[in-house]
Amino acid sequence: MIIQFINGLLMFVLIGFITYPLMWIWGMVDAYRQAEAINRRNQ
């Protein structure tokens, strides 16, 4: 959440338009991987 807040601030410098979507996609991929790992342990 902190990184996304910093990326939101960086949008004023235009670099946030690159880093914000990258971190958002990485967050989705990481959440999926974590859910898969948890589901494997619970079986």
Contact 23, 43 (CB under 8 A): no
User: Which residue is it, tokens 């790992």?
Assistant: 37
pLDDT of residue 20: 83
pLDDT of residue 39: 95
- Sequential pLDDT tens for the chain (43 residues): 888 888 888 888 877 788 888 889 999 999 999 999 999 998 7
Lookup: tokens for 20 = 């914000």
Query: How many whole angstroms separate alpha carbon 23 and alpha carbon 21?
Result: 5
pLDDT of residue 32: 98
What region, left, alpha or beta, does residue 14 occupy, with left being phi > 0 and alpha being psi -120 to 50 degrees? left
